[in-house]
Chains A and B, each alone.
Chain A
């Protein structure tokens, strides 16, 4: 069995769901969790429920705010004092930035954004998309340990019956070391909702939206079903939505349970960003739009009429 560390972040004081997905998948191994974020009783209880044997609450000067060097230096010191075979993390914005630098400190390899994996004894093998999801490949890490792995949110799924562990909390003093690139300010995004990459339901608009104002009907639907709103590249390039909302090969890759594509034709590059959605609903006036070949439920119709009707139907259910 392997000794494993799962690096964790919190969203609104709760561990990010991807951490719980990873813990569930690693059931049976000795798994510890580490975080720089504030972990209250509820959070530590939940981490224990999902299998964390120890929870290291990392604290130190200059570590209240993320910086790539500060967090990497601190984690480097902590990991060196332990004996982990693997370090896992959800493939979040922060982990994508931090983990490669941290792996580099150990001259170690990293498997990025796997969508599934098997931990057989102390041997890891993962599956990951390549070429924007146009094919899948098996990935293994070789060379010095620990080996690093990041996991795409929403890909593993939540464990049905997690195995709990002791969840013993350890307050760990760590050093940030020298920080040359520091965050001076954070400018909040327009959206209060979950980021597209973590959202469970996404409602997306394409070029047929015709105007940024028209996205309001998607926002209305999103409010009812708790979704995040996305956009195709065509909509972004036409100025109807900011780039942060773009789903696709040169935007974000998403893996929600439900993806509702409104007025999106379904170009290869868009499909690359959302093809692993569990259920896809497409609304388009063109019956030959490529999106219909990937949709579980396709509606040939005018989104400006269909979307409000659908929102009303959703209201009846919720």
Chain B
């Protein structure tokens, strides 16, 4: 099977975010970049599938900036065979990203059997790319997957929906699968894996090479701002048992009369 995994490099969840000078994006100078957490589940599932389908390969694809290619090396250290980097800004919109991924997958010459991705990137939270990519490639897709079974390309996928309920899909490969937390436990890259990854192939393309131009932009972001600060709230001490009832009565009363919420 030709297995692809689409990954994104995003700011670490601890990163303090501040708008840049012209509010066109955020300040990126002191950001620690990580593999998008949801993409780790995608890489792991791809590697598990590879292990169960002999003769398979896993290619990791990323659209983003050249200065940091760690996410691709990490994926290869986990066990992916090779990678493709489409060089461009880290924050293209979903349409351009999906189109670039499509172009890269087609240029690889390998017809995809499975394409994995994380369900969303934690910087943009758009949740569009996997479904959009599937549409562009004319493939079925199942998103927010928390259960994956494959019998030689006959897939049984569990998709998480509201209220913790699960839709069980049956679909034949080729298919695009977006992964949610709970699907698997991503492996750590081993030291030998990290050493091997340094020699694994990383093909590089420009946006032009994969057929993407500025005309493909569909969404414009501007005016980045910090969210409005809430005024300081009221704090009550109820560590002493004697104060508990009084404090709770007061808070519940405030919820009713001041916040008007109950």
A contact set with B: CB distance below 8 Å: 66, 68-69, 72, 92-94, 96-101, 103-105, 107-113, 129-143, 180-195, 197-198, 225, 242-246, 249-251, 253, 257-258, 268-269, 272, 275-276, 278-281, 285, 287, 292-302, 305-306, 309-310, 313-314, 317
Contact = CB atoms under 8 A, between A and B. Distances in A.
B193 to A, nearest CB: 24
B252 A195 contact: no
B162 A197 contact: yes
B255 interface: yes
Nearest to A269: B13
B168 A185 contact: yes
A249 B248 contact: no
A104 B131 contact: yes
A75 B141 CA distance: 17
Contact of B170 (A141, A182, A243): A182
14 contacts: A96-B144, A97-B159, A131-B123, A135-B224, A136-B225, A138-B221, A142-B218, A181-B157, A191-B163, A244-B164, A279-B261, A298-B235, A309-B244, A310-B248
Given A101-B132, A297-B251, A300-B239, A109 B13 contact: no
Contacts of A66: 167
A301 B247 contact: yes
A86 to B, nearest CB: 14
Contacts of B172: 180
Q: For the complex, would chain B's binding face be called helix, strand, loop or mixed by DSSP majority?
A: mixed
Contact of A92 (B136, B162, B237): B162
Contacts of A93: 144, 160-162
A186 B166 contact: yes
Contact of A131 (B11, B94, B95, B159): B11
Given A93-B162, A181-B169, 15 more contacts: A107-B95, A112-B126, A137-B222, A138-B221, A142-B219, A143-B95, A180-B172, A180-B175, A181-B170, A188-B165, A189-B164, A258-B255, A258-B261, A292-B235, A294-B230
7 cross-chain pairs, A with B, having the tightest CB-CB distances, nearest first: A109-B218, A189-B164, A244-B164, A301-B238, A104-B135, A195-B162, A181-B171
Contacts of A257: 261
Contacts of A109: 93, 95, 218-219
